[in-house]
Amino acid sequence: MEQICDDLQAEHEALDAVVADLTEERWSAPTPAEGWDVKDTIVHLIQADMAASLAVLDAEGFVAAKESVSAGEGLGFFVTADGKTGAEILALWREERAKMLTAFRGRGPKDRIPWFGPDMSALSFATARLMETWSHGQDIADTVGASWPATDRLRHVCHIGVTTRAWSYVNRGMEFPGGEVRVELTAPSGAVWTWGPEEAPDRLTGSAEEFALVATQRRHPADTDLSVEGNLAAEWLGIAQAFAGPPTLPARGRS
């Protein structure tokens, strides 16, 4: 838990550096996520961080809040951007993400935490928060033209991308074909991360950053240099989606 929390904190700090000095006008710049500006994006992270803290610290309280969210209030039940400046949003995010990290650090990696979907282990939960922070951070960096360098923290994102292969089919109402796919990704550090049996005939290889961008629906597969061998790998890459929610596919040419 300490390692994933340290990595999550580092991801927070990387995104904080992107937004810390934005003008109010830039806080209102529209991102590639339809209908969301930069402020909306950070507010979404705050909402999820607040919900996560509640789920970790007060399971019964979270279940009650979940009912309100599901009843139509959405994550706005926790907080909205209404009437808040970018500086106020930033201060609130810093406060809430710190609370969430403290809550996570107090739990064991296998502790079960309730969520809007199935319960998750504390380790998986913190990993999912890192994935969401990184992917929304990519949206903001793309919007404001900020540097968003890849780091080996992407291993967490890639792992979720690989382990949600079956979910990508279920989410689209498609039958999961089974079978094994060998995944070999080159990390920003130059290391090679692997999943799946070495002898599998279906293979997906390339940049870890590009795979993470595809799995989080931030890049169209055709806009990457990822390589696939076999029908299983090719079909999966075309629908890979590491997060819950309606199936999406980013437009071509986003970079």
Q: E-assigned strands of the chain?
A: 112-113, 120-121, 181-186, 192-195, 202-207, 227-229
The string of pLDDT tens digits covering residues 41-95 is 999 999 999 999 999 999 999 999 988 887 777 888 888 888 999 999 999 999 9
**193 - beta bridge partners?**
185
Average pLDDT over residues 138-164: 97
Distances (CA, A) of 197 to 163, 179, 226: 14, 11, 19
| Mean pLDDT, range 222-228, rounded to an integer | 97
Cα separation, 166 vs 179, in Å, equals: 10
Confidence of residue 117 (pLDDT cuts 50, 70, 90): confident
Cβ neighbourhood burial of 58 (10 Å; 0-12, 13-18, 19+): middle
> Would you state the pLDDT for residue 16?
98
Closest by CA to 238, choosing from 208, 163, 247, 155, is 247
DSSP string of 60-74, one letter each residue: HHHHHHHHHIIIIIG
pLDDT score at 223? 96
Structure tokens at 11: 């991801």
Q: Are 153 and 134 in contact (CB under 8 A)?
A: yes
Mean pLDDT of 231-236: 98
pLDDT tens digits for range 132-148: 999 999 999 999 999 99
pLDDT at 255 over 70: no
Per-residue confidence (pLDDT) for residue 72, from 0 to 100:
74
Lowest mean pLDDT among 111-120, 165-174, 185-194, 228-237: 111-120
Nearest Cα to 170, choosing from 178, 158, 159? 178
Residues 6+ apart with CB under 8 A from 199: 182
Instruction: Report the C-alpha gap between 68 and 52 in whole angstroms.
Output: 15
pLDDT for res 244: 85
Q: Which pair of structure tokens corresponds to residue 26?
A: 């830039």
Q: Three-state SS for 183?
A: strand
Identify the structural domains of the chain with CATH numbers, from first to last.
2-142 (1.20.120.450), 154-239 (3.30.1050)
CA 52 – CA 236 distance, rounded (Å): 30
Range 98-126 average pLDDT: 95
**pTM for the whole structure:** 0.94
